[in-house]
Structure 1
């Protein structure tokens, strides 16, 4: 029974950490089912995301430092979105007043919501990193993974080499967390895979409700290829490495 209670409490903490992503998915579903007046759907999604961000900060669910991290992820995601849409990887076919090179501004919040989850789960579960690699290795690896999202369109795709490198670099690394006063830990590589898989599920939900559209979904919605898990896995790794690095830098400043 104690194990069940711990699992329920862990799930509850995870659910609280996912407030921002849940609001985004709910907004996608609502605006797909109900036609809102005055503004195009993409612009309403932006308004909802901005209001949600303001409320989370005002209510104390999010700290100012976490807002800075989330803003950084919004910019990183928006740059990637502009490039990927330009290369035809996916598209945003609906109308919108607030678009940059065919990309609605709300799209950056989908990346920001991943950062929001990581920041809140980190704080709620009192995450601690064990056997964390040197700073320069982490920064170099994160930069290489992010750049590969761009360069593989013009050069060889090295995602699998990067994935293997992640396993080598973080082979001895663990993430420790606390639930109801009890400390647990799991291999960091396993946590990457689990988060990446659940984000792939979230991607299927998002595309079903028209958040964006892959070329094979133009005529009718279809399941996102399982190979996309590798892309989301690498994106999660970049997100985690950035958050972890910023947390360590902040601790050293203190």
Structure 2
């Protein structure tokens, strides 16, 4: 559908008529449509989070229903060609990385948050569907990269980007023992990506945005989704056990750093694939 619409508007006679406010409006519309398409897994998964009752469906506990829903969405997207097999494998990687973090955070020694309901698919106190919340972030970045034809200008050296991403991930674990170095890592990321620009194409012209702004914006929307999820009681922080309260705004920074890490994984996978691909002929 998107390809058909693109071809229609890229026709010379139509493209020649797109100027001024009309062009801005059409490009904004296309940007919105492609962003919505990139958020397809996110939207469907969190619709399930919002709509599935706490009691579950047909005797199946809620967490198990959410796992079935997440798997069904992924299988459907792959079958329908909305997600490539390479993208699906990357999403599985994000699921594994996120699930490992969840197990640590929910463990008895840490208990940063908890999943209060019963489920057949809980492992070490963590329902298996939880990894898909992290996979949703990776899915969005992967899809947006392809649909908006993303390119990165002034990307820092990959070894430096990977090092910062690893330190961000490690800090999610170690800050319980040796102090939280989140703001130091944020400062490193700020310096590392200060000149980095995302070049994207909503229609037929390139547009630019500072990559750091993208990190912050995506982190904000994840924070909003987290508020919705905790309001629905999917998981709870210790201060929400008695009555629900908004997730502290400081979590926004944590999510933004998680986006930095996720973006780095995607960019590194794209970089590796570009280096190993040998054109035929």
Give the TM bin, normalised by the shorter chain.
Answer: over 0.9
Pick one of 239, 244, 248 that aligns with 1:225.
248
Pick one of 34, 42, 54 that aligns with 2:75.
54
Q: Does 1:246 align with 2:260?
A: no
Q: Which has the higher contact order (CA 8 A, sep 6+)?
A: 1
Correspondence for 1:32:
53
How many aligned residue pairs are there?
A: 254
- The structure with the larger Rg is 2
Q: TM-score, normalised by structure 1?
A: 0.97
Aligned counterparts of 1:35 and 1:78: Cα–Cα separation in 2: 22
Aligned counterparts of 1:51 and 1:156: Cα–Cα separation in 2: 40
Q: Does 1:206 align with 2:229?
A: yes
Q: Does 1:41 align with 2:62?
A: yes
Correspondence for 2:182:
159
SS in 1 for 2:67: helix
Structure 2's unaligned 5+ residue stretches are 1-21
Q: Are the aligned partners of 1:81 and 1:107 in contact in 2 as well (CA < 8 Å)?
A: yes
Aligned counterparts of 1:28 and 1:142: Cα–Cα separation in 2: 28
Q: Are the aligned partners of 1:177 and 1:185 in contact in 2 as well (CA < 8 Å)?
A: yes
Aligned counterparts of 2:159 and 2:194: Cα–Cα separation in 1: 17
Q: Does 1:234 align with 2:242?
A: no
Structure 1's unaligned 5+ residue stretches are none
Please list, as runs of the form range in 1=range in 2, the aligned pairs for 1:81-160 lying within 5 A after superposition.
81-86=102-107, 87-160=110-183
Shift in Å, 1:2? 2.1
Shift in Å, 1:38? 2.9
Q: TM-score, normalised by structure 2?
A: 0.88
Aligned counterparts of 1:7 and 1:221: Cα–Cα separation in 2: 37
Shift in Å, 1:208? 1.5
Identify which range, 202-211 or 97-106, moves more after superposition: 202-211
Q: Which runs of 4+ in 1 moved over 3 A?
A: none
